[in-house]
């Protein structure tokens, strides 16, 4: 429906140009196409009667009439500016979306440059050991608590934008978002998973960052934090609740030097 906005704006401008109020000092007004001040009288074209008419100048509230015209012109100028900014934003968004490859994954816009985030290899740690957790494969069923971890205390990808914008192209419809990772000795913890006895159900705990999300294509979403990030380790994640199949694209946020 966005393409209707310029047409609507033209219609509003045309209506404004076609009529305005010529205010009188008694509080009434005439709806006119235009008016002219001629010595001691005002000549105007009546929009209601379709003809030129005159009225004594002393009966006309020119100050109010001119202020109303100025106010409406300012309002229209603001609307034109808003429409121009919205059109520019839409053009920029379409240009960004065209850069996104067809391959499912996570992409980051650094200025005009599109950066592909690498998918991290996750490890599962239970009470006895750590094992490599294969992508989109649930963790081994061992009753109790386990953690999903990444090797190393910091991600290779460094980002300085405090509210970074990511595009995520899903391979299938799943949940997704941005999470904060917990740093440990030589590791970063993605989530804690409790496997319930008897039922073997997964209860997952991640530290989610509140985000805005916008669908911009088939299975393609743009996401960004609602609030500026604080320095630390983060990841974009894709997952299915209760399946312990989290996919992780990690990054470090460090503010740019002043």
Q: Find residue 250's DSSP bridge partners.
A: 235
pLDDT tens for 131-153 read 545 444 555 545 578 889 999 99
- Sign (positive or negative) of CA dihedral 199, 205, 206, 208: positive
Cα–Cα dist 93/97, whole Å: 6
**What's the pTM value of the predicted model, to 2 decimals?**
0.64
Domain 4-99 class in CATH:
mainly beta
What is the full per-residue pLDDT of the chain (258 aa) written as tens digits? Answer: 333 343 333 333 433 446 899 999 999 999 999 999 999 999 999 999 999 999 999 999 999 999 998 998 898 888 988 888 888 877 877 778 888 998 999 999 888 888 999 999 998 887 565 554 544 455 554 557 888 999 999 999 999 999 999 999 998 889 999 999 999 999 999 999 887 776 777 888 999 999 999 999 899 999 999 999 999 999 999 998 878 789 999 999 999 877
pLDDT score, position 13 = 40
Buried b (16+ CB within 10 A) or exposed e, 132-150: ebeeeebbeeeeeebbbbb
Give the pLDDT of residue 142: 53
pLDDT at 140: 53
DSSP state of 110: E
- Residue 55 near residue 35, CB atoms below 8 Å: no
How far apart, in whole angstroms, are the C-alpha atoms of residue 139 and residue 124? 7
List the domain boundaries for the chain: 4-99, 105-253
* 3-state DSSP helix/strand/coil % of the chain, to nearest 5: 20, 45, 35
**pLDDT reported for residue 167:** 96
């Amino acid at each position: 429906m966005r393409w209707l906005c310029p047409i609507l704006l033209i219609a509003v401008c045309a209506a404004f140009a076609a009529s305005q109020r010529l205010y009188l000092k008694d509080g009434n007004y005439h709806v006119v196409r235009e008016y002219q001040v001629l010595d001691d009288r005002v000549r105007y074209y009546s929009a209601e009667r379709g003809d030129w008419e005159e009225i004594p100048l002393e009966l006309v509230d020119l100050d109010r009439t001119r202020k109303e015209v100025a106010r409406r012109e300012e309002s229209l100028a603001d609307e034109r500016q808003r429409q121009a900014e919205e059109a520019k934003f839409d053009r920029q968004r379409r240009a960004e979306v065209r850069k996104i490859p067809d391959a499912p994954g996570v992409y980051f816009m650094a200025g005009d440059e599109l950066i592909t985030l690498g998918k991290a290899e996750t490890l599962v740690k239970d009470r006895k050991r750590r094992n490599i957790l294969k992508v989109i494969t649930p963790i081994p069923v061992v009753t109790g608590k386990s953690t999903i971890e990444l090797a190393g205390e910091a991600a290779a990808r460094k980002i300085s934008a405090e509210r970074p914008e990511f595009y995520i192209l899903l391979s299938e419809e799943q949940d997704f978002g941005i999470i904060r990772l917990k740093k440990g000795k030589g590791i970063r913890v993605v989530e804690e998973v409790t496997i319930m006895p008897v039922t073997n159900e997964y209860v997952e705990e991640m530290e989610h960052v509140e985000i805005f999300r916008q669908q911009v294509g088939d299975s393609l979403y743009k996401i960004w934090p609602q609030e500026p990030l604080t320095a630390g380790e983060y990841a974009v994640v894709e997952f299915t609740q209760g399946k312990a199949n989290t996919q992780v694209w990690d990054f470090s946020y460090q503010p740019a030097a002043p």
